[in-house]
Amino acid sequence: MRKVFIADAHLRKPEDENYQVLLRFLASLKGNTETLYILGDLFEFWIGYRQVPFTHYFPVMAQLKELQESGTAIVCFEGNHDFHLGPFFTEDLKAEIHRGPAILTIDGKRVYLCHGDQINRREYGYRLLRFIMHNRLSLAMVPLIPPALPSFMAVHMGRGSKKKHHSNKVRWDYCALLREFAAARFSEGCDVVISAHFHRPFLEEASLGREQILLSLGDWISQFSYGEWADGKLSLKTYR
């Protein structure tokens, strides 16, 4: 069966279009998808409380649970908007969690998977913020954080991300950054690089002694793009 890769839905409210489209897409995966890889930022903001207080995420949580119970394995990578994923993912979904990039073997290929927020090494301010938000001390503090605070942060981060993403598109050549990063991973023996974060959907193939593929997943905000691995071939698709 096929394997599916998604990222960057930045879900906020169940009535939003991208939320509803994603729910339909997840329902369509039941019974025909071996593994769902979520490469970060599924939510606008998430940290993993023991009892999930984010009622606006219950519909997608229920859909993921039904998908897992139907036989689809779920593999999750932390993003810059969702981290310390918590018991719902580790216990309810029995998901395989990666706090950072990982090299996994898929159909005999060495596949480098990451959210992508660590690719631009020159974003020094963000690298410091990521260290603060993702370290074990912040994980230990999760039970002490009032649930109202993450909800406030979700609104704040949503507004800030849109502004920052626009300015960064002018400042940085995202595609060039991805190609440079992928070339380094290919030189280390990886066959495929799959990344998210930059909201630029594209797939490129090269053959330098062996086939090499770079897939940038795009997003589920307006593009509804995803990766599909079927019959040994990786492709970039759009769902509507």
**Count of other CB atoms within 10 angstroms of residue 107:** 14
Q: How many CB atoms lie within 10 A of CB 82?
A: 24
Superfamily of domain 2-238: Metallo-dependent phosphatases (3.60.21.10)
64-92: pLDDT as tens digits = 999 999 999 999 999 988 888 989 999 99
Q: What is the predicted pLDDT for the residue at 150? A: 65
The answer to whether residues 122 and 204 touch, using CB atoms and an 8 Å cutoff, is no
Q: Which of 121-130, 153-162, 182-191, 198-207 has the highest mean pLDDT?
A: 182-191
Could you tell me which residues come within 8 angstroms of residue 215 by beta carbon, excluding any fewer than 6 positions away? 5, 192, 193, 194, 195, 202, 203, 227, 234, 236
Nearest to 2 by CA among 95, 78, 76, 71: 71
> What residue spans define the domains of the chain?
2-238
pTM, two decimals, is 0.88
Q: Which residue has the higher pLDDT, 200 or 128?
A: 200
Chain segment 104-122, per-residue pLDDT in tens:
999 999 999 999 988 987 7
Determine the pLDDT at residue 83: 84
